[in-house]
Structure 1
Amino acid sequence: MRPGTVALVLAAAAAHALWNIASKYKRGDTFLFVWAYTCASALLCLPIGMALLAKAQQLLDWRLAVGSAVSAALHIAYSLILQAGYDRAELGVVYSVARGTGPMLTMLFAVVLLEERPSAVAMLGALLIVTGILVVVGNLFRSGSHRTVPGILWGAATGATIAAYTLWDSYAVTAWHLAPVSYYAGTLLLQGLILTPIALMQRHRIPDVLRANAVPILVVAVLSPLAYILVLTAMLSAPVALIAPLRESSIVVGAFLACWLFREDHLARRIAGGVIVLAGIAAISL
């Protein structure tokens, strides 16, 4: 994988970890929080997407409509399941399991369904990244760890949605040649249109949610689309079987911030896992 592509994905990983940390500070209604940052993201991305349409760099056709619609449904499922997990379990567990499950499933289906064939060294790097993620997570099934079970379940469910939208979005931008910014702007627009009628049924609670979560909403609204547009751009020049695990290096940043901000433990183990992840990144870079 070219160094420039690796840099894109690593920048996306850092942005992804930061917006997940911000979302942990969410207070109040989960659905309205997801709705608010989705609409804010759409407002930020739509002008750029429309400019690309006006310059004919992206055609407004059925591929863009269908691709965005399927992606919107998958991303809504991901956002709601992720946020529900954060409400019910430790960030370190939910985030770690989700970001470990997602790339493993993505790698498997990319090789089987998309017939991608990364090199042996690159696949070794991908497996090292997944191994490092598992080290960061630790033995979640150890004695007395019953409190982590909900986090494992929510994290695994989130990981399944990650694999689903990653594979679909990779197909959309590579096989259908959809411009990443226009494609994701369309996805955000449709997410907002789907979520808004349900949000308006709770309109009396919207002002309180916006006041309580102004900063997290803004951080997620900016960093979430930025992170994913960088990933979509990287997919144009590298196989998704490698992009997916490399992207999950965000777990290292997320795990350290969870220790620092939320007083979660096992810092030494998380450092060891981070070193393994970095070794995997180096192998993919070759």
Structure 2
Amino acid sequence: MTLGVFLAVLGAAFLHALWNALIKLGTSKVGGMVILSIVEVPIGLAVISFAPPIDPAAIPWVLAAGCTHFAYKFFLTYAYDRGDLSRVYPIARGAAPMVVALVGAFVLADVVAPFEYLAIAVLGAGILLMARGVFTSGEDRKLLPFALGSAVATATYTMIDGMGARVSGAPVAYVAWVFVADGTFFTLGMLALRGWDVIPRNWHAWRMGSFASAASYGAYAVSIWAMTVAPIAVVAALRETSILFAVLIGWLAFGERMTGEKALAAAVIVAGVMLTRL
């Protein structure tokens, strides 16, 4: 992984933490995610109008990605209804690189060196330590199945997107098509489950949701591009440094406590990041 790719993925990690924080800020987590999804469609269509066409062989990958993104958003919103950003986010994002690395070793064509697996393992240890507070601080354990469901969906779409972007021949256009599919599937799915009342009616919610959608596209597009030029498992692990940004946002913006446990977990995650650069 080159320095340029490394820095780009770190930037994507910050954007990912930012849009999650914006969703967490809303009074209705599901409503905020619906706005984000609605705005995804015009963003995707605008990019498609300027981007080169994708290979038709990538269409099944786009549809599969849209379905798994629906699951990811569904589980994530319900987890945020039950827990803090600095707890839900590490659990939801933390297990994903482990699944990608283990499954990817059998189904992906990338060759990942032993030290890269060590980096993934160190990152995973830090992420699990970051999430430990759900058991020791009396927090709502009902968030766990939703956060873990989000992690499985993340691992699934990570592998789908990495392969789909390569098949498409045009990663930027591929991301745009996935945005259209993802936004359409989630919006229609939530309308079917919750009815029209799930869509917030106030301008502030739409402004926040739209900004979150733009940040989501930036994070997603950079990550998918990086997966076309570097091993998928390593990009997926490095992207999880978004947890550091989420913890800082939770501390500085939401007033969440910065405990010694969180500081130690952050240090372990930074060590994992450094190992990815060896």
Alignment of 1:68-217 (within 5 A): 68-142=62-136, 145=138, 147-174=139-166, 176-197=167-188, 202-203=195-196, 206=199, 208=201, 210-217=202-209
User: Does the Cα contact within 8 Å between 2:40 and 2:183 map onto a contact in 1?
Assistant: no
Q: Distance in 1 between matches of 2:72 and 2:98?
A: 17
Identity value in percent? 25
- One-letter code aligned to 2:185: I
How many residues end up aligned between the 2 structures?
A: 276
The gaps in structure 1 that reach 5 residues or longer are: none
Q: Distance in 2 between matches of 1:100 and 1:29?
A: 21
Q: Distance in 2 between matches of 1:75 and 1:258?
A: 24
1:196 shift after superposition = 4.5
1:94 shift after superposition = 1.2
Find out whether 1:273 has 2:265 as its counterpart: yes
User: Does the Cα contact within 8 Å between 2:87 and 2:130 map onto a contact in 1?
Assistant: no
Question: What's the CA shift string for 1:118-172, capped at 9, x where partnerless?
Answer: 1222222222111221222235433x63x34122222111101100100111111
The gaps in structure 2 that reach 5 residues or longer are: none
The aligned counterpart of 2:252 is 260
User: Does the Cα contact within 8 Å between 2:29 and 2:77 map onto a contact in 1?
Assistant: no
Q: Distance in 1 between matches of 2:229 and 2:256?
A: 37
1:72 shift after superposition = 0.6
- One-letter code aligned to 1:188: F
Q: Distance in 2 between matches of 1:196 and 1:159?
A: 21
Q: Normalized against structure 1, the TM-score is what?
A: 0.88
Q: Distance in 2 between matches of 1:280 and 1:200?
A: 41
The aligned counterpart of 1:240 is 232
Q: Distance in 2 between matches of 1:251 and 1:198?
A: 28
Deviates more, 1:236-245 or 1:182-191: 182-191
Give the secondary-structure state (helix, strand or coil) at the position aligned to 1:183: helix
Q: Distance in 2 between matches of 1:161 and 1:199?
A: 17
- One-letter code aligned to 1:272: L
The aligned counterpart of 1:42 is 41
What RMSD over aligned residues (CA atoms) do the two structures have, in Å? 2.1
* C-alpha distance 188-211 of structure 1, shift in aligned 2 (>3 A): same
Q: Distance in 2 between matches of 1:65 and 1:171?
A: 12
**2:221 corresponds to which of 226, 229, 235:** 229
1:79 shift after superposition = 0.9
Question: What's the CA shift string for 1:232-267, capped at 9, x where partnerless?
Answer: 000011111111111000001101221233332243
1:207 shift after superposition = 5.4
The aligned counterpart of 1:52 is 51
The aligned counterpart of 1:18 is 18
Q: Normalized against structure 2, the TM-score is what?
A: 0.90
1:98 shift after superposition = 0.9
1:198 shift after superposition = 5.3
Q: Distance in 2 between matches of 1:78 and 1:91?
A: 16
Q: Distance in 2 between matches of 1:3 and 1:38?
A: 32
